[in-house]
Amino acid sequence: MPLTTTQTLIIMGAMTLGTVITRFLPFILFRTPKSEHSVITYLGQTLPYAAIGLLVVYCLKGVTFTATSGWVPEAISIAFTTLLHVWKGNTLLSIGLGTVLYMVLVQVVFV
Amino acid sequence: MREMKKALKAAFPHTIPILTGFLFIGMAYGMLMDSKGYGPGWSFLFSLIVLAGSAQFVGVTFLTSAFNPLYAFFMTLMINARHLFYGISMLERYKDMGKLKPYLIYGLCDETFSVICATTPPEGVNVKWFRFSITALHQLYWITGSVLGGLLGSMITFNTKGLDFVLTALFVVIFTSQWKAHPNHKPALIGLFSTAACLILFGPDRFIIPAMIGIILLLILFKKQIRGPIPEPEQGEEEIQCL
């Protein structure tokens, strides 16, 4: 545990607050279901896609190009996961095998 | 009480597909937490209270880097922004849910949203308790998976180096599914490239907030060009997106 118990609980509180806000906000803002809320509705439709793009990059923030071990395992595993998912479309299989491949690469091949 | 039991019985079959997914992904989460020194007790608490799969996975990185609750808060808002959309779609359905309404909204994760959208209770079953049962069962599966993963992780010792990639794989898979399912790729590309640009400009420690602001500004400024045909998510389609 890199953080103290209190710090961990505060992080948990911040995450809970963030989640609760996104879930309750529409019900608090829009008491009248039928009215037009164009910007919020528009962001509700588009932001989810942009957010996943952001998260993919976020996961790769540690990648470096100074040595092959800094980026090649990521590149191979992402290509593998993507192709497997395009081919089979099985979420659990793609995540499971992709992670195993990455673990093998960083533990055995690119040590 | 009888009404509740009846509703639970009617709801259970609809939750079976989620059972497998939540146990598996929950276990991966519990193991990842355990590998960072947060045992099954912590996984239990996070899954019980935060109750948001992808945010919890990203949350592991908040727990392993410098203490920054504000950052954790904004990241969670961004990751869960899609729930705004679910809420808007549920306004009508949840109108008359009485005292169960707060819990139903609290537990409205992607899977619960898609199952509740796609099901109606059979004749004679109370719709409030039916929806409550679906929400509560999903939460139970998620908690069980995370605790099992934490326990397993603490019993078996193996080299966990690289296990973090489960998070990358999760988002790559969601990205690929969305790419396949929706013809309009502009929002996804905006997310990818503005974040990458901010990473290069601001460095790995402070690129997320500028990236979020950039994305929202670009989406709003180019609303007309982006709009095009963005179909609303089909019921039950967003299988794991769902976390």
**pLDDT tens-place string over residues B14-38:** 888 788 878 888 999 999 999 999 9
Instruction: Kindly report the average pLDDT of chain A as a whole number.
Output: 88
Q: Which domain holds residue B36?
A: 2-160
Domain ranges of chain A: 1-58, 60-111
Is residue B171 situated within a structural domain? no
- Which pLDDT score is estimated for B225? 84
B180: which 2 tokens?
């396949």
For chain B, the domain total comes to 1
Q: Which residue among A18, A53, A74 places its CB closest to the CB of B77?
A: A18
- Which pLDDT score is estimated for A32? 61
Mutate to test the interface with A, among B22, B33, B70, B83 (most CBs of A within 10 A): B83
Mutate to test the interface with B, among A3, A6, A15 (most CBs of B within 10 A): A15
Q: Which residue among A21, A73, A99 places its CB closest to the CB of B163?
A: A99
B44: which 2 tokens?
């239990």
- Which pLDDT score is estimated for B228? 62
Is residue B63 situated within a structural domain? yes
Q: pLDDT band for position A33 (50/70/90)?
A: low
Q: Which of B123, B116, B120, B113 is nearest to B51 (CA)?
A: B113
Rounded to an integer, what distance in angstroms lies between the CA atom of residue B243 and that of residue B240?
6
Percentage of chain B lying above the pLDDT 90 cut:
52
Is residue B139 situated within a structural domain? yes
**Residue contact B171–A16, C-beta within 8 A:** no
Is residue B201 situated within a structural domain? no
- Which pLDDT score is estimated for B145? 96
| pLDDT at residue B167 is higher than 50 | yes
From chain A, the residues in CB contact with B194 under 8 A are: 54
Q: pLDDT band for position B242 (50/70/90)?
A: very low
Q: Which of B46-50, B60-64, B213-217 shows the lowest per-residue confidence on average (mean pLDDT)?
A: B213-217
**Residue contact A19–B215, C-beta within 8 A:** no
Instruction: Kindly report the average pLDDT of chain B as a whole number.
Output: 87
Whether the Cβ atoms of residue B53 and residue B25 lie closer than 8 Å to each other:
yes
| pLDDT at residue B239 is higher than 50 | no
**Residue contact B168–A44, C-beta within 8 A:** no
Whether the Cβ atoms of residue A85 and residue B181 lie closer than 8 Å to each other:
no
The full DSSP string for A37-67 is: -HHHHHHHHHHHHHHHHHHHHHHTTT--SSS
Average pLDDT of the residues in A85-98: 90
Average pLDDT of the residues in A62-74: 92
B212 and chain A: CB distance < 8 Å anywhere?
yes
CB atoms within 10 A of CB B37: 12
Percentage of chain B lying above the pLDDT 70 cut:
93
Q: Which residue among B58, B91, B172 places its CB closest to the CB of A78?
A: B172
B213 and chain A: CB distance < 8 Å anywhere?
no
From chain A, the residues in CB contact with B212 under 8 A are: 54
Q: Which of A38-42, B72-76, B114-118, B157-161 shows the lowest per-residue confidence on average (mean pLDDT)?
A: A38-42
- Which pLDDT score is estimated for A46? 82
| pLDDT at residue B236 is higher than 50 | no
The residue of chain B nearest to residue A11, with distances taken between CA atoms, is B69
Average pLDDT of the residues in B223-235: 62
- Which pLDDT score is estimated for B243? 38
The alpha carbon torsion through B25, B116, B6, B13 (nearest 10 deg) reads -50
ipTM over 0.90: no
Q: Which residue among B75, B204, B240 places its CB closest to the CB of A91?
A: B240
Q: How close does chain B come to A111, measured CA to CA in Å? A: 11
pLDDT tens-place string over residues B106-153: 999 888 887 887 788 999 999 999 999 999 999 999 999 999 999 999
B195 and chain A: CB distance < 8 Å anywhere?
yes
From chain A, the residues in CB contact with B190 under 8 A are: 50, 53
